[in-house]
Amino acid sequence: MSKTNLFNAIDKGVVTGSDIHRLYAIAKANQCAFPAVNVSSSSTLNAALSAAKSAKMPIIIQFSNGGAASFIGKNSGLPSIDASIAGAIVGAKYVHQVAKSYDVHVILHTDHANRKLLPWIDALLAEGEKFFSQTGQPLFSSHMIDLSEEPIEKNLSTCSEYLKRLKVLDMSLEIELGCTGGEEDGVDNSHLDNSALYTQPEDVAFAYETLHCISPYFTIAASFGNVHGVYQPGNVHLTPIILLQSQNFVSEKYQLKANSLDFVFHGGSGSSAEDISEAISYGVIKMNIDTDTQWAYWQGVSRFNDKFNGYLHSQVGNPDGKDKPNKKYYDPRNWIHAAEASMTSRLLQAYQELQCI
């Protein structure tokens, strides 16, 4: 059965508040999860929106701190934190403007913010409050606060303070328990011991107990050996069963229905369809994908260059004649659209692996 009609009761465009978790609940009940795509430009953003439109499925679009800065180019002259703030704001407003035209549901999110990056989130919340008072909607659907490197009490006490602020704005919070390995966007966890990469059920229970009395709208990135990036086969050992153990522990301890928690799968790139499917069965509703979509985008350019190589060495003159112009080949719209189409098709593969289509 097609899953595309399951989400029709929820308004298209940027999704906020309880609607976010309605989307997640429907996804979970139907054993599928949404891709969360890191974007760093209007081009990568358009590729993500196109994928959601083709799949007729909700999408999560997220900005990392570095990706947000990149959105306004390298030479704005702004200090890096201000560039990340400006880029995230303009990127979010861009999504608000176009998501309805694409006729898709977008959950608009920011990726990892450790303690050093909290001023970035503070600034986005300040802008979000302004946006909320003007439009009655939050600027972002959700933010991620990743204090997984810190002791869990400190992690959750800070996350609790943020969840209170997000609740007022009709937003959701993603937290992280246990660390994601590898390196992404300046956050380098490649030195970590393997045991740090596996979350304990007791920690998940503590997070549930602390957060649910503030707001039910939170998701948990629990680590089951996840690593950012793509590595040689055999170097990453995913153990999704950790998620099931956590679900069971929390359900039993607090007398909740089975599979009550909403989990996030970080480092989705390079993961096998089997691991993804197993993780979905244990309550994963969001899978982050960045490295594989970066590669797909590049492959689009590379293939374009291979295919039209004879037309890309000079402005005039190609295999069809020495006076023939090459403008229609080197116009950025053509090769950038090839990059976008390649990224879109990689995301359609993700939608399949996430059991959406």
- Min dist CB 64 to Zn ion, Å, is 8
- Min dist CB 353 to Zn ion, Å, is 18
Please report whether residue 342 would count as binding Zn ion according to CB under 5 A: no
Q: How many CB atoms lie within 10 A of CB 154?
A: 12
Number of residues that bind Zn ion (CB under 5 A): 2
Please report whether residue 266 would count as binding Zn ion according to CB under 5 A: yes
- Min dist CB 347 to Zn ion, Å, is 17
Which C-beta is closer to Zn ion: that of 113 or that of 296?
Answer: 113
- Min dist CB 112 to Zn ion, Å, is 6
Distance CA 52, CA 58 (A): 6
Alpha helices in the chain (DSSP H): 18-29, 42-55, 65-71, 80-102, 118-135, 152-168, 201-212, 241-254, 273-281, 291-307, 327-330, 332-353
For 35-59, give the DSSP string.
EEEE--SHHHHHHHHHHHHHHTS-E
Which C-beta is closer to Zn ion: that of 19 or that of 353?
Answer: 353
Q: Which amino acid is at 4?
A: T
Which stretch, 82-90, 136-144, 153-161, 265-273, contacts Zn ion (CB under 5 A)?
A: 265-273
In which residue are the tokens 């990453």 written? Answer: 236
Nearest to 111 by CA among 136, 161, 140, 145: 145
Annotated active-site residue 111? The verdict is: yes
SS3 of residue 286 by DSSP: strand
By beta-carbon distance, which residue lies closest to Zn ion?
266
Catalytic residue among 111, 170, 275, 292: 111
- Min dist CB 228 to Zn ion, Å, is 6
Structure tokens at 186: 């300046």
Main-chain dihedrals φ then ψ at residue 176, nearest 5 degrees: -130, 135
Nearest to 206 by CA among 177, 179, 226: 177
Residue span 171-190 as binding mask against Zn ion, x where in contact by CB under 5 A, dash where not: ---------x----------
Which C-beta is closer to Zn ion: that of 6 or that of 279?
Answer: 279
Q: Which amino acid is at 170?
A: D
Residue span 65-104 as binding mask against Zn ion, x where in contact by CB under 5 A, dash where not: ----------------------------------------
Structure tokens at 252: 């039993």
Please report whether residue 293 would count as binding Zn ion according to CB under 5 A: no
Residue 8 CA, distance from chain mean position: 22
- Min dist CB 180 to Zn ion, Å, is 5
Residue span 216-255 as binding mask against Zn ion, x where in contact by CB under 5 A, dash where not: ----------------------------------------
Which stretch, 117-125, 126-134, 258-266, 273-281, contacts Zn ion (CB under 5 A)?
A: 258-266
Distance CA 130, CA 142 (A): 16
In which residue are the tokens 């689009």 written? Answer: 300
Residues identified as active-site: 111
Binding stretches for Zn ion (CB under 5 A): 180, 266
